Amino acid sequence: MPQNPRDKGRPQNPREQKIQQSQAANQPNYLPKDTRELSFTKIENFALMLHKIGAYRDPAENKTANSTHLRNCAGFRFSGRAFEPAEEQRAAIDDLCQHGFVASHREAKLLWRFVPGLGIESVFETGLSLHHVYGVPYLPGSGFKGAVRSFTIERYFGNSEEDALKDAGFTAIFGSGGDEEAAAGRIWFFDVLPVQQLSLKLDVMTPHYAPWYQERKPPGDYYDPIPVSFITVEKDTKFCFSIAVAKRHGDSAINSGKWHRQKVFEAATALLEEAIQQSGFGAKTSVGYGWFSTQ
């Protein structure tokens, strides 16, 4: 494969050689020439590498094309710029605190792997939430809020959303639904972004009853299991969970319900800590993915 003139004379490391050999074996001839000659090692944005530089083949010709591409992508090495989104977001939140807001930041480390956005639309069989500018894996603020909200309903209201929506503290923090009485929650939930030691790992799940899930055919032991590869964030990666509220709302006392007489911001901060310690975020939480520790 032709080299960039600036790279002449520079010895290739084993990873570069392996990737280029894999590219040579898997590049389809219908990709543009410049794309075929682009080395994966020169791409700094992981989202572009995963979704735009893929070497795809007809499944009938090569059933492992997608898994080969995912395996190459899982070896991506993030630069220090991967943590710029978290730094910029934190600076913006701190600026809000100079203008009548209060905020809480909790950094937590993954106890096992993390898969945000596994079910989102993707050209592969599985997805991954990636920052639209920096390309780093992250949990959108909407998903963060939804996870804490679901934990609160399960933990304090026996999984009854109807009972939760009758509680003054719950609606003050998360808001209330309905057409006429709808109200936004007081707490702002921000994107959950990586802050330290970001690395990826290729994982695999093996559905044994694909016809049951896809076509509703009766499950049976006679079906062949079909391995499905997916990319995860490796354990020990640190993420930052941030919430904020206008001080005038955060200091107001809840007048009834389970958090009677507590301040809105204090109740929200306590729920955030509980959710991080006692539940998971993202996909596959029931089997240990997406669990964090603040220790």
Q: What is the pLDDT of residue 260?
A: 96
* Tens-digit pLDDT profile for residues 254-272: 999 999 999 999 999 999 9
Burial of 210 (0-12, 13-18, 19+ CB in 10 A): middle
What number is the average pLDDT over the span 81-95?
A: 94
Rounded to 5, what percent of the chain is helix, strand, coil?
40, 20, 45
Tokens standing for residue 74: 């899982």
Residue scoring higher pLDDT (238 or 42): 238
If you search the block for the tokens 């956005």, which residue do you land on? 117
Task: Please give the Cα distance from 83 to 89 (Å, whole number).
Answer: 10
* Tens-digit pLDDT profile for residues 10-47: 555 665 665 555 555 554 555 566 666 666 667 888 99
**How many Å separate Cα 75 from the centre of its chain?**
18
Residue scoring higher pLDDT (226 or 36): 226
Structure confidence at residue 180 as a pLDDT band (50, 70, 90): low
Q: What is the pLDDT of residue 49?
A: 86
Measured N-to-C along each axis, helices 14-26 and 65-74 cross at an angle, to the nearest 10 degrees, of 160
Tokens standing for residue 275: 């959710």
What number is the average pLDDT over the span 151-161?
A: 96
Task: Please give the Cα distance from 116 to 258 (Å, whole number).
Answer: 31
User: 21: helix, coil or strand?
Assistant: helix
User: 39: helix, coil or strand?
Assistant: coil
- Kindly report which listed range (123-137, 184-198, 274-288) carries the lowest average pLDDT score: 123-137
Q: What is the pLDDT of residue 183?
A: 86
Q: What is the pLDDT of residue 215?
A: 82
If you search the block for the tokens 């993202």, which residue do you land on? 282
Single out the residue of 248, 266, 283, 286 nearest to residue 118, CA to CA: 283
What number is the average pLDDT over the span 158-168?
A: 95
Task: Say if residue 239's pLDDT is above 50.
Answer: yes
Structure confidence at residue 252 as a pLDDT band (50, 70, 90): very high
What number is the average pLDDT over the span 55-84?
A: 74
Q: Where are the domains of the chain?
A: 14-74, 81-293
Number of H helices, E strands in the chain: 11, 9
Single out the residue of 36, 48, 41, 35 nearest to residue 19, CA to CA: 41
Task: Please give the Cα distance from 264 to 172 (Å, whole number).
Answer: 7
Q: What is the pLDDT of residue 157?
A: 97
Q: What percent of the chain has pLDDT over 70?
A: 81
Q: How far is CA 57 from CA 49, 52, 263, 278, in A?
A: 17, 14, 57, 43
* Tens-digit pLDDT profile for residues 40-67: 667 888 998 888 776 555 555 555 566 7
User: 192: helix, coil or strand?
Assistant: strand
